[in-house]
Structure 1
């Protein structure tokens, strides 16, 4: 027996049923295409709120990841510069040692002085080197270079190490070392010492004084080399800290991602079956309605 739509009330019932089935179908299609069961807050208010909190935490982690990466890059640049500085110091030590030889002629000493003067300029470039817009050894002083590019005079602005927090809930770490801790000490700085060595090699008129100056320079070079070793250790430790922080941040991000997926993620196979059932149900409803003298389509337009 054909089901006939007798009045508007019956038609309205069918219309509501079809609209509900179509809405359900649309929801399932969206879930299937997005892979999520929560596509808007109304789908699951509590779940949606939990996911928002997770995504907020992930945004914070991303910021720390950028900070940790930048810190690691700066520390790597500092480490490379310290290596270069150490090599230059070793070359200076070799040249000064040659200048102390009793067999060195004045012409030979003049040549040594010229090379040391050149090495002094190269060391100055290292001391004033930049990482992006920041002075690599500037620390908290970033308005001017650690040493005057023309005279090598040290900056009058005091500097401390630059600290950056690279992981939530942890203390900030220094991202480098200051020029004061590597290129100078309480006694002098490398540039003054090298200038004195150059003058001694070229001769001041007092051979005994010149020899003492060169011997002092040898001792000073050993001091600067020790300062570099200390700086290397500090930079290396903080590079390890940034590496560990980046690993922790990545793991935390992935764990949060897994939690979010557990909350909002959908069962693809299950949803596909639901979608097939919903499609069959809608088709059945429309088929039943079409058997009446006035079909549901008359009311749906």
Structure 2
């Protein structure tokens, strides 16, 4: 086959252009810190990077859900702790009110405090966290509070309808957990607590000594059982989410490490390749200038 000056010129230009592309790629890698800028650079590695980024994004969302869930449960436990303290005080007042020798003024003082404790329970029942009601089921937002004080009416409170839904968060692939305490329609802990306090108030005001010593304390015990169950379940979920949080943080670290190993450029190695390619390019340029000086000068011009 006859080799013409045009063939030599074209081959030289092709080789010089290929070398320039490699030089540009090495410079881009050093500037960005990444081995792959475009999928076409390495389709297989690019697919692995996309898969790792997707997994990392999902893991970050799970981690955010878990942290939000822990925060919600912490606020819930704090509210239930307040409720526990209020009920303990109600029991003390019920026992004090069961004293037959108690004067009327003393009974009225006990009743006044119990009324204030009733108000406090309403406040706890309407506790918000991040602008959302803790004990309103899925009705966490809006102007309507879960419980409204209706002292003097029967019953002495209004419980909003439809506040029994669970708030469920996703903490992993196919793994979910409900983070809220649901106040059931007739057997909810706040419903029971408010009924217990209202009964204690009536018994003290009416001097129902037997009821204060027996039935009212039974109401109290039933209410405390509900609260203790709720706190136990809340604590178990807190522990589960704390363990899950640590696992997700480990996964996050591993995903980032894998992504870095696949994506990050080896600076020393890339500089070595860059220097070698620069030498190759300069040598090819010099050789080409001697072989086809006029054509090369035209090309450079």
Q: Which range, TM-score by smaller chain?
A: 0.7 to 0.9
Ranked by relative contact order (alpha carbons within 8 Å, sequence separation 6 or more), the top structure is 1
Query: Do 2:36 and 2:42's aligned partners in 1 also have CA atoms closer than 8 Å?
Result: yes
Deviates more, 1:237-246 or 1:137-146: 137-146
Pairwise mapping of residues 139-150 of structure 1 onto structure 2 (< 5 A)?
139-142=137-140, 144-150=144-150
Unpaired segments of 5 or more residues in structure 2? 151-155
Matched with 1:176 is 180
Q: Secondary structure at the match of 1:104?
A: coil
- 1:132 to 1:282, Cα distance in 2 relative to 1, 3 A: same
Matched with 1:211 is 209
Distance in 2 of aligned mates of 1:257 and 1:169: 23
Matched with 1:153 is 158
- 1:199 to 1:169, Cα distance in 2 relative to 1, 3 A: closer
TM-score (norm 2): 0.84
Query: Do 2:163 and 2:182's aligned partners in 1 also have CA atoms closer than 8 Å?
Result: no
Distance in 2 of aligned mates of 1:119 and 1:101: 20
Query: Do 1:127 and 1:179's aligned partners in 2 also have CA atoms closer than 8 Å?
Result: no
Distance in 1 of aligned mates of 2:18 and 2:280: 11
Pairwise mapping of residues 69-80 of structure 1 onto structure 2 (< 5 A)?
69-80=67-78
Query: Do 1:139 and 1:178's aligned partners in 2 also have CA atoms closer than 8 Å?
Result: yes
Pairwise mapping of residues 12-161 of structure 1 onto structure 2 (< 5 A)?
12-142=10-140, 144-150=144-150, 151-157=156-162, 159-161=164-166
- 1:141 to 1:213, Cα distance in 2 relative to 1, 3 A: farther
Deviates more, 1:224-233 or 1:153-162: 153-162
> Aligned residue pairs: how many?
286
Unpaired segments of 5 or more residues in structure 1? 1-5
Pairwise mapping of residues 193-204 of structure 1 onto structure 2 (< 5 A)?
193-201=196-204, 203-204=205-206
TM-score (norm 1): 0.84
Q: Secondary structure at the match of 1:179?
A: coil
Query: Do 1:137 and 1:178's aligned partners in 2 also have CA atoms closer than 8 Å?
Result: yes
